[in-house]
Structure 1
Amino acid sequence: MRYLEPADVLLVEGNSQIATAIKYLTQSTWSHAALFVGTHGNGRLHDPTHCFIEADLLQGIRSVGIEAFAGRPTRICRAVGLSEEERQAVIGFAIDRLGHRYDLKNVIDLARYLLPTPPVPTRFRRRMIAFGSGDPTRAICSTLIAQAFQSVHYPVLPCIEYRAAATGECPDCIDEIMHIRHHSLFVPRDFDVSPYFRVVKPTIESGFDFRALKWAEAANDVGASQRGGNSRVGFA
């Protein structure tokens, strides 16, 4: 946990039925996302040992400790370029929504969007359905975090429109106009593939040195192979 910073997004690979469904729908390893708010949560969390905000299917938006993700594959994604004030604003947005409910309808609508059954062109599919319950006190894990970053106008995966440059001095120039993607359309993998979030690898952050690794001797590998065992590289 020492490599986490406030406003980091922790992606988690779950193994529940709904987690398996989310991974299938999104074609991704990650089924859940939580926001790291720091070891003290700005003093606004009921339990001082809690340091994450997440949206749980049964308990809604809640705070949890690092032990909630023990033993699960995880990935740390960090928004690049945020100021300390902006980080605190992202955290504050999530903390203010503690106690809100989980939006199960959003999950159902996402399934309909990601695996549409009617033969309708992609550009019309969004108009066919209303995403989520429409209740501002409901959210799923990825939509909550997306809203928190959008509150400081930080992009996750914005929709980009290309237009001819407004100035007449450069007729071949193109402007990129960013549009905020609706928060209900975000899934956990979006933070992983976003060009604006950096993947933090604790092994590298701790000063990885491949020269310090201890490899099995080649002779031992050959001997194991001759004895009918599997030849594997091991770490001491």
Structure 2
Amino acid sequence: MLTKVRRQITSYRDWLWNKGITWLNTEPNRQDLSALTDFDFLEREVRPADVILFAGQTRVSRVIQTIVLSPWTHAALYVGRINDIRDPIARARLAEFYQGDPNEPLVVESLLGKGTIVNPLTKYKHEHLRICRPAGLTWSDADKVVNFAIEHLGLDYDIRQLLDLARFMFPYAILPRRWRSSLFQHNAGNPTHIVCSSMIARCFQQVRYPILPVVKNEQNEQVRLYERNFRLITPSDFDYSPYFNVIKYPAWNASKEPVYRTLPWHQE
């Protein structure tokens, strides 16, 4: 009898959790943002190991916007096409998680309710996107970043880390100790759970590429860089980082002359 009651409680808890995840992932006021980005330009120019930022429209995206004070609420890593992956193990693993066209441009991302998955880039054709490109990253290190991202496929999304990050953004002293973030605790969080920007930050840390490192001047006036906790990296940090080039693809290319004559003004 007790086992049956426990099973019912677990079933109800899972049902309630799934309902909450569905509510958070709902887009109450869905808008077509394709006019903000020339997707064809972006698709032609994007390179493996580029970070793609998204201005999300879901309820959880609005929460993230409030936490990080930025329109960029999600990040994905562009890994290229299956046929272009040079490492055979990584190529086979990517093909295991994506059974579509092997020449389809793909991104690896961590999504609430889905975990770390692979999606075609064209899925986001109607979104507001931005490319953040690691400046000077070698091709061999770009391959390592891509391969490590592919290793993350199948991991669950770390909702606890998202809540910890939210708590970390509040004034630390006014929170009760039991509410304070565990981001700095040793081995905090489950190693099989991760959020989108933290997953990408881990990949770049594998090749010691900086995002927003802690910079210190030592007593002998030597500058030293220290890696920031990857759990603290948010999507907007790739936009702010001086080590990433921001590449924008507006719907009306400002490099064309004269640009003002090409704008689609409405007579009214």
Common fold: TM-score over 0.5: yes
Q: 2:165–2:181: 8 Å Cα contact kept in structure 1?
A: no
Distance (Å, rounded) in 1 between the aligned partners of 2:197 and 2:262: 41
Which whole-Å deviations, capped at 9, do the CAs of 1:13-55 have from their partners, x for residues lacking one? 1111110000110000100000000122623323233510000
Q: Does 1:139 align with 2:191?
A: no
Aligned 8 A contact 1:103 1:133 in 2? no
Which amino acid counterpart does residue 243 of structure 2 have in structure 1? Y
The alpha carbon displacement at 1:146 in A equals 0.3
Correspondence for 2:181: 129
Q: How does 1:149-228 map to 2 (within 5 A)?
A: 149-165=204-220, 174-202=221-249, 208-211=255-258, 214=261
Unaligned runs of 5+ in 1: 166-173, 217-231
Shift, 1:70, TM fit: 2.3
Q: 1:56 aligned to 111, 116, 120, which one? A: 111
Per-residue CA deviation, residues 107-133 of structure 1 (Å, 9 max, x unaligned), is 00000001236438xxxx9xx532295
CA separation of 1:207/1:214 partners in 2, compared to 1, >3 Å: closer, same or farther?
closer
Structure with bigger helix share is 2
Inter-partner Cα distance in structure 2 for 1:215 and 1:68 = 28
1:7 aligns with 2:54: no
Question: Is 1:79–2:134 an aligned residue pair?
Answer: yes
CA RMSD of aligned residues (A): 2.5
- 2:182 maps to a residue whose letter is A
Q: Quick one: which amino acid aligns to residue 162 of structure 1?
A: N
Q: Distance in 2 between matches of 1:63 and 1:176?
A: 39
Is the Cα contact below 8 Å between 1:50 and 1:63 reproduced in 2? Answer: no
Query: Secondary structure of the equivalent of 1:52?
Result: strand
Partners in 2 of 1:5 and 1:31 — Cα distance?
21
Question: Would the aligned equivalents of 2:161 and 2:189 in 1 still touch at CA under 8 Å?
Answer: no
So what's the TM-score if we normalise by structure 2? 0.70
CA distance in 2, matches of 1:203, 1:26: 24
Please give the alpha-carbon distance, in whole angstroms, between the structure 2 residues aligned to 1:67 and 1:115. Answer: 37
Where does structure 1 differ by over 3 angstroms across 4 or more consecutive aligned residues? 116-120, 232-235
Q: Secondary structure at the match of 1:28?
A: coil
Q: Which amino acid aligns with 1:210?
A: E
- Evaluate the alpha carbon distance shift between residue 73 and residue 207 of structure 1 in structure 2; reply closer, same or farther with a 3 A threshold: closer
Q: How many residues align?
A: 205
Offset at 1:203?
A: 5.5
Task: Please name the residue that 2:66 is paired with.
Answer: 24
Q: Distance in 2 between matches of 1:87 and 1:207?
A: 30
Q: Percent identity at matched positions? A: 33
Q: Hey, what's the Cα distance between the residues in 1 that align with 2:137 and 2:266?
A: 41
The 1:73/1:20 distance shift into structure 2, 3 A limit, reads same
Alpha-carbon distance in 1 for matches of 2:113, 2:213: 30
5+ long unaligned stretches in structure 2: 1-42, 86-90
Q: What is residue 228 of structure 1 aligned with on the other side?
A: none
